[in-house]
Amino acid sequence: MGPTTRQYLFGLIFIGVAIYQVSVGDYLETSLYGLGGLAFIVNALTVEPKLVIYKRPLVVVSWVLIISTGLLFLYLLQFKYL
């Protein structure tokens, strides 16, 4: 399994956990896992050879998703679990 395939797999696992969190009714964690999954998937898309013309916008979107996931994680950690 290559590193790109692994990133897609992690992204799908995170999105699956997000769907589970919707069924539980925890929408804050849904957004956390959804953003994390999208960050993995968009990050994997940046190395696809067919999307090389969109590399710069994909990298920007990937970093925005990573930073927003980190901020949401810190928010959840501070106000939900501590």
Each of the 82 residues of the chain gets a pLDDT tens digit; together they read 888 899 999 999 999 999 999 999 999 999 999 999 999 999 999 999 999 999 999 999 999 999 999 999 999 999 887 7
The Cα–Cα gap between 31 and 14 comes to 10
Alpha helices, DSSP H only, in 1-82?
A: 3-24, 27-45, 55-76
Q: What is the pTM of this model?
A: 0.90
* Six-digit token string for 64: 């925005």
Here the contacts of 46-49 (C-beta below 8 Å, separation 24 or greater) are 47/4, 48/4
User: What does the domain layout of the chain look like in residue ranges?
Assistant: 3-81
